[in-house]
Amino acid sequence: MNRLDELISRFLDDDLTPEERLELRHAIEADSQGADELLACYQQHRLLAALFRPASAEVVEAILTAVCAEDGFADSVMRQARAAATENTLVNQPAKKCDDPATKSKPYQQTAARPSLNWFDRLFPRPRWAFAVATAALIGFLVWLYPPVNNQPTLTVATGTQVILERDGQSSSVQDALKLLPGDRLRISGSNGATIDYGKENTRVALNDHTELKALAWRKGKRFELRQGKLEATVARQRPFGAMVLLTAQAEARVLGTKFTLTATTNATRLEVTEGKVKLTRTSDEVAVKVPAGYYAVAADATKLAALPLTGSILREYWTNLPGDYYITFLTSRADYPDHPSGHEYLGRFEAPSHWGTNYGARLCGYLHPPKTGDYTFWITAGDGGELWLSPDDSPKNKRQIGYAKPSMPHEWANHRGQQSSPITLVAGRKYYIEALHKQGKKDDHLAVAWQGPGREREVIPGGFLSPYKVNQEEKQR
């Protein structure tokens, strides 16, 4: 249990000193995830106390038995909460055993130590069926909050891969189906890699070639140290205080359930998130950032730690059965443009496939991420007709045309003056919406966009400086 977990636990037990209360306040102000954890635990604590107050011992034991069948950890939490709340919860007192006239009309009474939970009384009336419904909801909530997890991984080695295991000071070669233990150190070599598997729990960690990984103590959750190399993980939802933690020389990544890739070198750590969200903390100064799906972050000295859009591709949409040559208006005046293309794909650089077809229109759109601040010049070439648009920011609404293409040969950048833009100043660290429209008739089809900028000769724009446009979300905002 780390310091934040300890403070939250003691807060729920009303056992914090004034100094510790101030420490907890500062901790959750500095870490929004800590605030989320505190709220979740506080809500669970109050719900448990409220549900136990009208229950007889037999009912409580029945609840505990049911929960235990679903999740032993949740059962433990309920028992602890019940024990902690015994003196401050309401006591069940059947009316037929009450001799005091003042209490005969009350099936239970409230102690002065705890204020009434009126919101709960209004939500759940007194009848037994309502209590049963509330109990079932509680069990479901606890099973959701504390899903079954497996912290005893097995290593699977692919054919053609060599894994060297260091355990208790001894080195040996691993074949397959190895049960990992805390302290194990793995060195992977071979193009097919190896996989850490958590059985029925849908958590997999794929280790690439030239990767070195150490297993740490995992009594409180999955813990690893990535010393070098690259891993790709799919992580099932973990418990609030049992996040998967991956340490590198520069950072710490905390994962509750997501898909991500983590790469560690001597000087930097790179995190790429495919699904969910991962918290990355730079260990040198404790600066942290939450990296959502479709973004990445790099932890390194003299580098700003920030979540940035994943680069590597640009979106291409196309509309088929579109007669006519050259004129882009054949595409833009079509009834199903731009919301309903015939199909789409993602390209690894700003260049459409050649000899793809005839009588179609296409739109290539995404975001441009300049590596350095300075002036950039752009070119466009097409087999029939094309237009190049660029926005001064990341909004498609602000785009303006910076070039156009007439029929030319592939990569023929100087066929006419309109192909080349004037120099445009771009700022590193920002992203700019960029778009190329393409109308193809019956000639040989091709389309490409090139640039030239600080320290870069003219080239077709590589995918490393592009990210795809989010169609469904942003088209609706137009």
Q: What is the CATH number of domain 155-309?
A: 2.60.120.1440
Question: Cα 417 vs. chain centroid, distance in angstroms?
Answer: 45
Beta strand residue intervals within 285-431, DSSP E? 287-292, 295-300, 308-309, 314-319, 343-347, 351-352, 360-368, 374-382, 385-390, 400-405, 424-426
Which distant-in-sequence residues (6+ apart) come within 8 Å of 64 by Cβ?
A: 75, 78, 79
Q: What is the 3-class SS of 34-60, one letter each residue? A: HHHHHHHHHHHHHHHHHHHCCCCHHHH
Between CA 383 and CA 408 the distance in angstroms is: 5
Q: Which two tokens stand for residue 45?
A: 């604590």
The CB density around residue 123, as the number of other CB atoms within 10 Å, is 11
Low-confidence ranges of the chain (pLDDT < 70): 1-2, 4-5, 8-15, 28-148, 471-478
Residues near 462 by beta carbon (within 8 Å), at least 6 away in sequence: 349
Which candidate, 93, 49, 88, 74, places its Cα nearest to that of 149? 74
Separation in Å, CA 212 to CA 128, 180, 308: 58, 14, 27
Q: CB burial class (10 A; 0-12, 13-18, 19+) of residue 468? A: buried
Predicted local confidence at residue 286, as pLDDT: 92
Residue 138 confidence (pLDDT): 65
Q: What is the pLDDT of residue 98?
A: 42
Amino acid identity of 226? Answer: L
| Structural tokens at position 30 | 């500095």
Task: Answer yes or no: same fold for 155-309 and 314-475.
Answer: yes
Q: Which residues pair with 224 in a beta bridge?
A: 215, 246
Pick left, alpha or beta for residue 276 (phi over 0 → left; psi -120 to 50 → alpha; otherwise beta). left
**Domain range list for the chain:** 31-145, 155-309, 314-475
Please tell me the class of the 314-475 domain.
mainly beta
pLDDT for residue 387: 98
pLDDT (0 to 100) of residue 147: 66
Q: What distance in Å separates the CA atoms of residue 5 and residue 41, rounded to the nearest whole number?
A: 10
pLDDT of residue 400: 97
